[in-house]
Amino acid sequence: MTGEDKVIKDIRKELQDNADERHRQSIQRFFKEEVKLLGVKTPIFRKITKKYFPAIQDRPKQEIFSLCEKMLESGLMEERGVAFDWAFRMRHKLEKKDFAILESWLHKYVTNWAACDSLCWGALGYFIYKFPEYFPKVKKWAVSKNRWVRRGAAVVLIYSIEKKKSLEPVFEIADILLLDEDDMVQKGYGWMLKVASNHEPKKVFEYVMRNKKEMPRTALRYAIEKLSPDLRKRAMAKE
């Protein structure tokens, strides 16, 4: 058995040993779709993913990506979480050529909001922060037939927003997603605008006021959540 395979085998055993049926049922309530998971509690999961990364961190990056892919192929929420966590831990080693594999994971392995947010805020979010010239590819996500890819177009910008990058891409994506009928996409771009409001409340408020007649109420409520009570009241007022 190769070293790589042993690491995955050990992770799988430890995840299985910490499976909690009651917690699994509790987590399932947060998803509309059926989610394949063991129910490992978050603090325990974090210890496991952190524990095993040192064993593989010095391997060639493509080898680590292959390990991640094997865990992603299982379809298990916890293994997917390990894969996306490891990809983010390797963020400082990311190069332009790595976009292809990260984007392929978004299309192939993201099947719910938690997976979308984990990958797109994490490794993909850092990638777009580091290589903003890839933003045109993100704009294509915003018109995808896949709801999670569209949500990803918004969530992937949150890392850059938190690092106080320009908000111009934020409003471009919001414009594209503005009338999206999917509530998970609405919550995604509303969240993006909410984070932006922490840094540029005036710009976000002005954007909301320009578009509030068309913007779905779900997106609007998310977008204004961090604004002052007065601005929130004005944004919610019916004209």
pTM for the whole structure: 0.93
**∠ Cα 219 225 229 (to 5°):** 130
Domain limits, the chain = 1-93, 105-239
Contact 182, 154 (CB under 8 A): no
Say which CATH topology domain 105-239 has.
Leucine-rich Repeat Variant (1.25.10)
Does the pLDDT value for residue 1 go beyond 60? no
pLDDT at 239: 66
pLDDT tens, position by position, 66-112: 999 999 999 999 999 999 999 999 999 999 999 999 999 999 999 99
% of the chain surpassing 70 pLDDT: 98
Buried b (16+ CB within 10 A) or exposed e, 65-93: bebbeebbeeebbbbbbbbbbbbbbbbee
Domains 1-93 and 105-239 share a fold: yes
pLDDT tens, position by position, 217-237: 999 999 999 999 999 999 998
Tell me the CATH class for 1-93.
mainly alpha
pLDDT at 180: 97
Does the pLDDT value for residue 4 go beyond 80? no
pLDDT tens, position by position, 170-227: 999 999 999 999 999 999 999 999 999 999 999 999 999 999 999 999 999 999 999 9
pLDDT at 190: 98
- For residues 180 and 168, give the distance between their C-alpha atoms in angstroms, rounded to a whole number: 20
